[in-house]
Structure 1
Amino acid sequence: MINLNGKLVANDKASLSITNRGFAYGDSVFETIRVINGKIVFWEDHYFRLMASMRIMRMEIPATFSPEFLEKEILSLVKENELDTTAARVKFSVYREEGGYYRPKTKNVGYLINAEKLSQAFYELNEEDYIIELFKDHYINSGLLATIKSNNRAVNVLGSIYADENDYENCLLLNEKKHVVEALNGNIFLVKGNTIKTPPLSDGALNGITRKKLLEIIEKTDDLNLEEATISPFELQKADELFITNVITGVQPITKYRKKSFGNNVAKSLLSKLNVKAKLG
């Protein structure tokens, strides 16, 4: 079952118009959310990021879109799909209602929620080989639009195809200034000694929820220094560790980039702390 504008609909009965603006123009934003045993992980952060994304896209936020209402909509779907006693991945999409070509005729929105089972409730460290490369065919344009989760993901899609064709687990994306911005499916962190760096949002990095939570954890860890600073591709091979973060995987250590291999001690420690934070809400 999915939730389509507040109505539970069987997957094979659900449909969207061919003139849906999310499909036609990428006029849509979304949140990927983790639900554990009927509890939304980091719900407040997801809610406020969704509201901020809608404002950036100049969508009309319905009066009904309170945190309580949307939480109820999500959890009702999770329960209907019998996922309330396990872990679930939820995608909450908001699209502008159809009408107009490039210039929309309305700011009103519709929404779609779907849920699927996750294999584990909390984050587990993946220590298998994870080899990456830079994707240089296309660039992320730094700026506010790059920080939100919209369905304008052409660069990510093409980068994923490049990774598949060349046997990489992931690729790192660059902005128009050729600075490292993020991975195909999450934020990038670089560890050198006691310093952890991650690109600032002004470079075009996604405003990730897991990124935000790790920044909070690192700032409270006495033996680690945090820098939100531009990362040059030349810094990658000098790092002690590289890892990728997102709400589904948590922390994914990178084992190799070109000729350089990396450890995962800091990633392992941060993942443990992230799990604690997720359990506490």
Structure 2
Amino acid sequence: MINFNGNLVAESNSKLTSENRGYKYGDALFETLKVVNGKIFFWEDHYFRLMASMRIMRMDIPMNFTMEFLEAEILKTLEANTLIDASARIRLNVDRGEGGKYLPDENSKVNFNIVVEPHNNPFYTIDADKPYVVDLYKDFFMAPGLLSGLKSNNKSLQVIGSVYAKENDFDNCLVLNTNKNVIEALNGNLFLVKGDKIKTPPLEDGCLKGVMRKQVLEILSKDVNLYVEETSISPFELQKADELFITNVIKGIVPISKYRKKNYGSDFAQKVVGKLNAKLRLMS
């Protein structure tokens, strides 16, 4: 069952049409959520990122789009799909409805829809023995700016990059901005570990304002023995690192095992995952 503007409908009866602005122009935003036993991980961060993104997109935010309302709709959808007591992946999509060309019709209204699916792992784990190989994706570059940091339906670079990765037997690719700095992976933020120094690209470089990125930065900031910096990362630094790892809400932390001729460990990433799970237990 899909939740369309608060109404539960079968997927075959979805009310999304070819005139939907999210379909026609990418005039839509989404949040990917992880829910375990009815608990939405980091829901407040997801909600405020969505609201900030809607303001950047100049969407008229409906008065009923409160954090409590949308949470209740997510839980209602989980219940209808018998996933309220399980681990699930949620996509909360917001679009500007139908009507208009590039300029929305005056009568266009913001819609939301919620799609849920089962997810295997309730907490975050790392399989240190499983290889995870990446390379740079250099066919297209991300231009830094407010729009590059939005989780919008315009993900052409990520789609083409994912096809490229599959064709070349990579597990993922790292994305460059127009200044040729490494900003993120195709599906998450990037962290670089070198001794006691931890780097992650700044939002100003064009990376996604990731919810898991924020959690990891908060965890690292509490360790006085680490020097954590949000700064640009050049491709030349990658092979000098001790560890590289990718973060997103669904998988948590994914250590990179190989980039070109360099192999990496995952000891630091393992420690961060332990602290992340401990934080989640305190929140539940």
TM superposition score normalised by structure 2: 0.97
Counterparts of 1:99 and 1:81 in 2: how far apart (Å)? Answer: 31
Give the whole-Å Cα distance in 1 for the aligned partners of 2:263 and 2:86.
36
Residues 1:85 and 2:85 aligned together: yes
Aligned pairs for 1:84-123 within 5 A? 84-106=84-106, 108-123=109-124
Show the counterpart of 2:282: 280
Give the Cα–Cα distance (whole angstroms) in 2 for the partners of residues 20 and 11 of structure 1: 16
SS of alignment partner, residue 154 of structure 2 = coil
Establish whether residue 138 from structure 1 lines up as the match of residue 140 from structure 2: yes
Aligned residue number for residue 262 of structure 1? 264
Of 188, 191, 198, 1:189 maps to 191
Distance in 2 (CA, whole Å) between partners of 1:102 and 1:172 is 31
> Per-residue deviation at 1:138?
0.2
Listed one character per residue, the Cα deviations across residues 201-256 of structure 1 (whole Å, up to 9, x for unaligned) are 00001000000000000000122111000000000000000000000000000000
5 Å matches for 1:1-281?
Answer: 1-106=1-106, 108-127=109-128, 128-281=130-283
Aligned residues: 281
How many Å separate the matches in 2 of 1:57 and 1:180? 26
State the 4+ residue runs in structure 1 displaced beyond 6 angstroms. none
- SS at 2:114's partner residue? strand
Given that residues 61 and 108 in structure 1 are in contact (C-alpha distance below 8 angstroms), is that contact kept between their aligned partners in structure 2? no
Aligned amino acid, residue 261 of structure 2 = K
Q: TM-score, normalised by structure 1?
A: 0.98
Q: Secondary structure at the match of 1:238?
A: coil
SS of equivalent residue, structure 1 residue 278? helix
Once the 2 structures are TM-superposed, how far is the Cα of residue 34 of structure 1 from its aligned partner?
A: 0.7
Distance in 1 of aligned mates of 2:166 and 2:241: 25
Helix, strand or coil for the counterpart of 1:125?
coil
Query: C-alpha root-mean-square deviation of aligned residues, in Å?
Result: 0.9
Asked whether the 8 Å contact 1:160–1:170 carries over to 2, the reply is yes
Amino acid at match of 1:11: E
How far residue 80 of structure 1 moved from its aligned partner, in angstroms, is 1.1
Gaps of 5+ in 2: none
